[in-house]
Amino acid sequence: MKRKINAKMIQIRTKVIRIMADKRGEGFVDTAVKILISVVIGALLLAGLYALFNDSILPELQNRIHQMFSYSG
């Protein structure tokens, strides 16, 4: 039983040492860059839609609704 525990501890120790010695980390950096790009693109899309609605769509919609309900007859 003690040999199995020692063997497992050695196996875990070598795995931890191998992980700590690995200096790549490209998985984390790659994921962070993807998230950052998607946040920036999403913010740009929302800003564009906000500008589009405020400048052209909402004023035109207000005019049409006003014309529709201002019945003088």
Place of tokens 């525990």: 5
Percent above pLDDT 70 for the chain: 95
Backbone angles phi, psi at 70, to 5 degrees: -95, 65
Task: Reply yes or no on whether the pLDDT at 73 is more than 60.
Answer: no
Tell me the one-letter amino acid at 39: V
DSSP code per residue over 1-35: -HHHHHHHHHHHHHHHHHHHH----HHHHHHHHHH
Residue 26 confidence (pLDDT): 66
Task: Reply yes or no on whether the pLDDT at 72 is more than 80.
Answer: no
Residue 60 confidence (pLDDT): 87
Per-residue pLDDT tens digits for 15-39: 989 888 887 766 777 888 999 999 9
**Domain boundaries of the chain, sorted by first residue:** 1-70
